[in-house]
Chain A
Amino acid sequence: MALSNDVIQARLKEKFGDQVTNFEEPYGMLTFEAPKEQNLKLLNFLYDDDELKFRFLTDVTVVHYPAYAGRELAIVYHLHNLVDNIRIRFKVFTDIKQPDVYTATGLFASANWQEREAYDYYGVNFVGHPNLKRIVNVEEMDYFPMRKEFPLEDQTRVDKDDEMFGRGGSIDFGNMPTEDRQHTIAEEDKNTEL
């Protein structure tokens, strides 16, 4: 039987029951979610199962959702079954205050640097990682620059107004609280009497 998204979903449901949730198929790729304590069990199962055989780790990355209280950081694994040529995307969410997730380095050597990058960018603490330190940024850095609270440009700048340019700039970038935001030039202009 050829492996398809439905078969994978059924197999996971059979093994993990209600713990795997949020099955979706955006642009044809099966995407699902599991509790973060289960990530290694799931990766191991996907690797070892005779039918599933997801033995190639394509990518590990992190996404920050400041709006999701208690589950701000999503660790996203892209796995590939090279024999049946099918890809899946698997996510675990973690609290940003205690971002501890088990490392996948025991299973995939390629996870080593990818997890270091994830740590470097977002501060995800991969428990059991052999060498979890920053990889592209300097070791003295004391923050995690890819988090959404660090906007690319200084948000207090008033000489540059992005209001006319769609999203970005001072307008609700990355779900930042907007109360304290200074008025932009365009807003001041509206109040000026001609």
Chain B
Amino acid sequence: MVTTEKHATLPEGSIETKTTTLNLGPTHPATHGVFQNILELDGERIVSAEQTIGYIHRAFEKIAERRPLYQITPLTDRLNYCSSPINNMGWHMTCEKLLGIQTPKRVDYLRIIIMELARIADHIVCNGVIGVDTGAFTGFLYVMQYRELIYEIWEEICGSRLTTNIGRIGGFERNFNNIAFTKLEKFLAEFPDVLTEFENLFVRSRIFMERTIGTGPISGERALNYGFTGPNLRAAGVDYDVRVQTPYCSYQDFEFEVPVGSTGDSYDRFLVRNGEMWQSLNIIRQAYQKVQAFKGEEAEVYHADVPEYYLPEKKDVYTKMEALIYHFKIVMGEIDMPPGEVYHSVEGGNGELGFYLISDGGRAPYRLHFRRPCFIYYQAYEELVKGGMLSDAIIVMSSLNLIAGEMDG
């Protein structure tokens, strides 16, 4: 359907007679997902770019209108699948806000451990991939081992690795076991050295610097106008972080810094993500200390006491009458939620992940809208790559950390 005659005008001084149309994607190996870009090239310079998205659109917002709350959690997994637990927790917290549930402090701290691990898992993939795209595979494979370790921790807690469906409304499905904590300790002990070495591979590497510095820059003002959030906005020098601005899940109890860049180019985005990983490690350490401080009965708390919304543990369903009743009521959709409309946002791997939930008092949301950070900032792509080289287009794409699942919704 693409008309080949629709060439863009060439910039002045070009030696070409007309622009070349290059169809980058939808399944190009360098796009890390299903994206299509129709680039108009003057030689190797990009004159214009048009993005096409929607190849993996799954209509989650429509599906959510027919699902009780606990069945929407698996849908959120599939938004940014590099950091599913943040999406899950964000969704649980939205529901808790609507239902007026106060979670115990221990639950908050455990959630923070999980969310910050997810942020690290998200950022090591993104930064590793920038390395791959600039020609260095080593870093990616090296840090991938530690993503594996993070996945093993999640596996101990919820049983799954990528699409986690972790937690419940009100807390977690079970308490963290000792294996999870042992693995977490191993991660905390080993990962700093790995991250240092990863940084050593890239940060002052001449090839890496020349490929990324000045590629796809954006000013703070333009970034805000384009609705950037998360590391990409902070790389442009704006210190907006949902965790600090509107603390949720007891983030106010933690001491951490918000790394910012200045030029908003691919190199700054890389540095900001690296800086965030250090901060995440810092937060996890603090949270783990706080979790360890709970002793005796307090150390057994892993969910809020809200039987009408919290899906009971399976072994209780088999042995306790009350748990069986609540299990039946929740699963069969006998539980109505209060009418109301609520917006809740969390700092996802890519920025402000928002949930706008309207309830009319039924069992399923009347309307649920996801504010997907990726979807919003990808529209700036043309502005970022215009005038640059074709090879820069690939670097910009990987440094924005575009996740097709989040983009298409």
List chain A positions with a Cβ less than 8 A from chain B: 26-27, 29, 31, 55-59, 61, 63-64, 76, 78, 82, 85, 87, 89, 108-110, 112-114, 117, 121, 135-137, 139, 145-146, 152-153, 164-168, 174
Given the known A-B contacts A110-B225, A152-B63, are A135 and B333 also in contact in the complex, defined by CB atoms under 8 Å? no
> Is A153 within 8 A of B227, CB to CB?
no
Q: Taking chain B's interface residues, is the majority helix, strand, or loop, or is none over half, making it mixed?
A: mixed
> Is B369 within 8 A of A87, CB to CB?
no
B358: A residues at CB distance < 8 A: 63
Min CB gap A43→B, angstroms: 13
A166: B residues at CB distance < 8 A: 68, 332-334, 336, 362-363
A42 to B409, CA, bound (A): 30
- Nearest residue (CB) in A for B58 is A136
A27 to B101, CA, bound (A): 13
Given the known A-B contacts A135-B54, A166-B333, are A87 and B379 also in contact in the complex, defined by CB atoms under 8 Å? no
- Nearest residue (CB) in B for A140 is B1
Min CB gap A16→B, angstroms: 22
> Is A26 within 8 A of B340, CB to CB?
yes
> Is B342 within 8 A of A61, CB to CB?
no
19 contacts between A and B (CB under 8 A): A26-B342, A27-B97, A27-B343, A31-B341, A56-B224, A58-B345, A58-B354, A58-B371, A61-B356, A63-B358, A82-B224, A85-B245, A109-B225, A109-B380, A110-B225, A136-B54, A139-B1, A166-B362, A167-B333
Q: State the total of A-B contacts with C-beta under 8 angstroms.
A: 107
Interface string of B340-360 (1 = CB under 8 A from A): 111101000000101010100
Closest 9 CB pairs of A and B: A110-B227, A136-B54, A166-B333, A166-B363, A167-B362, A136-B57, A61-B369, A59-B371, A113-B379
B333: A residues at CB distance < 8 A: 165-168
A121 to B64, CA, bound (A): 14
> Is A167 within 8 A of B363, CB to CB?
yes
Min CB gap B252→A, angstroms: 13
Task: Check if B8 is an interface residue, CB within 8 A of chain A.
Answer: no
Chain B CB count within 10 A is highest, among A135, A145, A153, for: A135
> Is B364 within 8 A of A63, CB to CB?
no
- Nearest residue (CB) in A for B222 is A109
B97: A residues at CB distance < 8 A: 27
Task: Check if B294 is an interface residue, CB within 8 A of chain A.
Answer: no
B224: A residues at CB distance < 8 A: 55-56, 82
Given the known A-B contacts A56-B227, A87-B343, A153-B66, are A113 and B375 also in contact in the complex, defined by CB atoms under 8 Å? yes
Min CB gap A111→B, angstroms: 8
> Is A137 within 8 A of B54, CB to CB?
yes
A112 to B225, CA, bound (A): 11
Min CB gap B354→A, angstroms: 6
> Is B62 within 8 A of A145, CB to CB?
yes
> Is B240 within 8 A of A82, CB to CB?
yes
A174 to B62, CA, bound (A): 12
